[in-house]
């Protein structure tokens, strides 16, 4: 069975003294549960596993029950016992209960590994109750090198079908692949994750917003234009909020415009980055036969994939991904981290003009520029090692 790098990261932090809670967040169906169980198996220690992904959200007593079951296993061994609690964000009051049980256990024999597919609900609980007690891991969508190693995919296949390992076996049957991605991934994430984050006044609008965004991968789309294409859209504030929720569920992120000032960043039209190309292809099935042979559509897939990889790889508190536009001049992405600023242009076809990069460099002399694709870093090299800083 293929093993992701996150397994070794979990094991490394499990050995840290004093022990810490470990939190593993990421999208659905990217192997969080598998990685957690692989880490426990590699350690050679007993493990108790439970999932809260139920029709009705369980209460805090669910955490206590499984904590006690893990404690019973400590009598069978001399060392710690893994307690893997999946979809923990579904449990009402989970963070307070975990804090109570963790602080009340002086033996340290229970080593909790908490998994979740909603960044918003998890981080809310972490910041409110568990400050200083945990280490956070991010288990993202599968990159091209991983899909190549596990399934033998070339870059064009990954650009079209994205990074969901569970869907890999169905790519030779497009109808089956589409049904799997739409029913088991998209619908499940929308209904069980996004719509359970908080009370959604217009759930149909949120679904329509997701559908609209997947038709405009890596494109700048103003909220006013969205309002014109959505039924019962309300106002721009509602759309902005729903787009944020889609981002917290690892589906779609709206990048702000870079201007060097936070106020203008927040007021800008978003550039839509779909966090896995599979979501784009599944929402545009008519384009599936020519997804990577249609030059214009392939260009969108390439640029979207670059944006998704940058979002996934640069998640430090100081890292920001945005785009820049000044009149007719623009750059595809601007990656900033502290004082370091890099403007990025993605070229999926022939080498072309990079006047946007030149204009950005002129306005922000302290920045650097980078071309990914034709005339710059080859796409294969970037996706193999997407390090900018």
Instruction: Round the average pLDDT of the chain to a whole number and report it.
Output: 89
Question: Are 150 and 112 members of one domain?
Answer: no
Please check whether residue 142 is in contact with residue 165, taking contact to mean a CB–CB distance below 8 angstroms. yes
User: pLDDT value at position 143?
Assistant: 97
Q: Pick from 84, 115, 138: which residue ends a domain? A: 138
Q: Is the pLDDT of residue 262 over 90?
A: no
Q: Please, is 117 exposed, middle or buried when counting C-beta atoms within 10 Å of its C-beta (0-12, 13-18, 19+)?
A: buried
Residues of the chain with pLDDT > 70, as a percent, come to 93
- How many C-beta neighbours within 10 Å does residue 110 have? 21
Question: Are 156 and 38 members of one domain?
Answer: no
Domain presence at residue 365? yes
DSSP summary character for residue 317: T
Domain presence at residue 1? no
Q: Pick from 112, 138, 164: which residue ends a domain? A: 138
Cα 326 to Cα 329: distance, rounded to the nearest angstrom: 5
Question: Are 200 and 295 members of one domain?
Answer: yes
Enclosing domain of residue 102: 6-138
User: pLDDT value at position 119?
Assistant: 67
pLDDT band at 231 (very low <50, low <70, confident <90, very high): confident
Q: Is the pLDDT of residue 51 over 70?
A: yes
Question: Are 96 and 227 members of one domain?
Answer: no
**pLDDT digits 0-9 by tens, 30-40:** 999 999 999 99
Domain presence at residue 171? yes
Domain presence at residue 389? no
Question: Are 129 and 81 members of one domain?
Answer: yes
**pLDDT digits 0-9 by tens, 156-210:** 999 999 999 999 999 999 999 999 999 999 999 998 878 876 778 888 999 999 9
Residues 6+ apart with CB under 8 A from 269: 220, 221, 222, 223, 257
Domain presence at residue 164? yes
Domain presence at residue 216? yes
Which letter, b or e, does each residue of 330-349 get, where b requires 16 or more Cβ atoms within 10 Å of its Cβ? bbbbbbbbeeebbbbbbbbe
Question: Are 261 and 173 members of one domain?
Answer: yes
User: pLDDT value at position 266?
Assistant: 56
Q: Pick from 99, 121, 138: which residue ends a domain? A: 138
Section 296-304 average pLDDT: 94
Question: Are 105 and 207 members of one domain?
Answer: no
Question: Are 56 and 72 members of one domain?
Answer: yes
- Spell out the SS3 assignment of 271-315: EEEECCHHHHHHHCHHHHHHCCCCHHHHHHHHHHHHHHHHHHHCC
User: pLDDT value at position 191?
Assistant: 87
Q: Is the pLDDT of residue 254 over 60?
A: yes
Considering only residues 17 and 198, tell me which one the structure prediction assigns the higher pLDDT: 17
Question: Are 245 and 121 members of one domain?
Answer: no
**pLDDT digits 0-9 by tens, 94-148:** 889 999 999 898 677 899 999 988 765 566 666 667 777 888 899 999 999 999 9
User: pLDDT value at position 263?
Assistant: 42
Question: Are 182 and 249 members of one domain?
Answer: yes
Section 69-91 average pLDDT: 88
Question: Are 94 and 116 members of one domain?
Answer: yes
Domain presence at residue 74? yes
Tokens representing 242 are 């729903």
Total number of domains constituting the chain? 2
What DSSP assignment string belongs to 171-234?
Answer: TTSHHHHHHIIIIIIIHHHIIIIIHHHS--S-HHHHHHHHHHHTTSTTEE--HHHHHHHSTT--
User: pLDDT value at position 259?
Assistant: 85
- Domain holding 14: CATH number? 3.40.50.300
Question: Are 116 and 250 members of one domain?
Answer: no
């Amino acid at each position: 069975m293929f093993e992701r790098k996150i397994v070794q990261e979990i094991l490394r932090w499990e050995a840290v003294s004093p022990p810490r809670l470990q939190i593993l967040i990421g999208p659905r169906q990217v192997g969080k549960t598998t990685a957690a169980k692989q880490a426990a198996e590699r350690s050679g220690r007993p493990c108790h596993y439970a999932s809260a992904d139920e029709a009705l959200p369980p209460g805090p007593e669910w955490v206590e029950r499984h904590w006690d079951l893990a404690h019973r296993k400590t009598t069978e061994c001399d060392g710690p016992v893994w307690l893997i609690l999946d979809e923990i964000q579904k449990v009402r009051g989970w963070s307070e209960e975990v804090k109570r049980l963790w602080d009340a256990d002086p033996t340290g024999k229970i080593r909790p590994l908490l998994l979740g597919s909603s960044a918003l609900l998890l981080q809310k609980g972490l910041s409110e109750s568990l400050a200083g007690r945990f280490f956070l891991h991010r288990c993202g969508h599968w990159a091209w090198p991983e899909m190549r190693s596990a399934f033998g995919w070339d870059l064009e296949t990954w650009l079209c079908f994205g990074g969901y390992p569970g869907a890999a076996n169905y790519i030779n049957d497009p109808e089956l692949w589409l049904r799997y991605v739409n029913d088991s991934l998209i619908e499940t994430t929308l209904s069980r994750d996004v719509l359970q984050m908080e009370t959604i006044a217009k759930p149909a609008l949120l679904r329509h917003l997701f559908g609209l965004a997947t038709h405009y991968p890596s494109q700048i789309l103003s909220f006013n234009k969205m309002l014109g294409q959505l039924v019962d859209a309300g106002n721009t504030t509602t759309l902005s909020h729903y787009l944020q929720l889609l981002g917290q569920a690892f589906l779609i992120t709206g990048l702000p415009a870079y201007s060097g000032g936070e106020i203008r960043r927040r007021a800008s039209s978003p550039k839509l980055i779909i966090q896995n190309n599979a979501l784009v292809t599944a929402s545009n099935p008519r384009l599936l036969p020519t997804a990577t042979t249609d030059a214009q559509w392939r260009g969108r897939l390439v640029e979207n994939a670059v944006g998704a990889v940058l979002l996934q790889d640069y998640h430090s508190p100081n890292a920001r991904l945005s785009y820049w536009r000044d009149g007719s001049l623009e750059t595809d992405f601007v990656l900033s981290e502290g004082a370091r600023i890099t403007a990025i242009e993605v070229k999926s076809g022939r080498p072309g003009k990079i006047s946007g990069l030149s204009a950005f460099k002129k306005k922000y002399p302290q920045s650097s520029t980078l071309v990914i694709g034709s005339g710059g870093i080859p796409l294969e090299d970037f996706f193999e090692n997407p390090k900018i800083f």
